[in-house]
Amino acid sequence: MEYKVNAEIVALGAYVPERILTNDDLSKIVDTNDEWIYSRTGIKERRISRDDEYSSDLAIKAVENLISENNVMLEDVDFIIVSSISPDYYTPSMAALIQGAFSIKETGSLDINGACSGYVYGLQLAFSLISSGQYRKILLVTTDVLSKIVNYEDRNTCVLFGDAATATLVQHTDIQQDCISFSGTDGVLGKELYCSAISPTIKDHEIATKHVLVQNGRTLYTFVTRNIAEIINNLFANNDKLSKEKIDFFVPHSANMRMLNKLCENTGFSESQLLSSLEYNGNTSSNSIPLALYEAHKDKLLKKGNTLFLIGFGGGLSYAGLIFKL
């Protein structure tokens, strides 16, 4: 869907835990090694939270980083959106915890559970809520401590995931721009990637392992490299205004480098267009896209006016895309 937006990203922040878990460290836990992991995933390291460090702790530090590095104020933030699949509690929400931590008055708060699509869903919401005139300044936070819900006896999953948090400040602008967003879900495939909570079954299938991430890597690889690739190609084929050559940066969810390379191959995006946060952070769920943006900003790769194509995909199974200018 193409629509007009009066919103822009004005600041980015991030935080990753101090502890580094290398591939060699993992080889002491499960039957694996550095060559096996890196050749299949593109991951060298991932960050792991302390035992007493939770998603809200990472989120607060990411917001503090946003404030300190960008010299911004949050007193007039009128809505907070948080994406997480590993919240501290069922309730209160993570967004409410962040509001309390920074004493932001008269602000709405909402958590979303979009998994690896969460940041793009959150940005779609922020752009739309601001462009509707209902809000003027939104704090979008992503945060997850996936290490606390990973099965470290399963070498196919434990090598992938890391912990992180990011903060994005989105606010109203008088300069209107065209934006393209799209999303979709195949809930039938939800059983291919889940972490249990209350129910003992998912889609009439018995939960395999409780309270840890369970995923079918082969199904997810096909979902992304075929289904998502087809969706992207159709999007450009059916819109005369769109050109892949005019996309400055293609920023898909950093799930697995082999998967991302195949996705680029199947869609025609070049290696120079691809932004990823995978190599030293692992798969950080909804953090991966904003973490890639944050790192690119720190490396002075991003410039005002760049055209970005963000696409998240994963748990649900869901996907969400957004094309806009910085």
Task: Write out the catalytic residue numbers.
Answer: 116, 253, 283
- How many whole angstroms from its chain centre is CA 99? 21
For 322, phi then psi, to 5°, come to: -155, 130
- With a CB cutoff of 8 Å and minimum separation 6, the contacts of 226 are 266
Buried b (16+ CB within 10 A) or exposed e, 18-55: eeebebeebbeeeebeeeebeebbbbbbbbbbeeebbb
- Which pair of tokens denotes residue 165? 């948090």
For residues 308 and 326, the answer to whether their CB atoms sit within 8 Å is yes
Of 290, 228, 250, 263, the closest CA to residue 84 belongs to 290
Cα-based distances in Å from 162 to 54, 209, 260, 285: 13, 20, 18, 9
Distance CA 179, CA 125 (A): 13
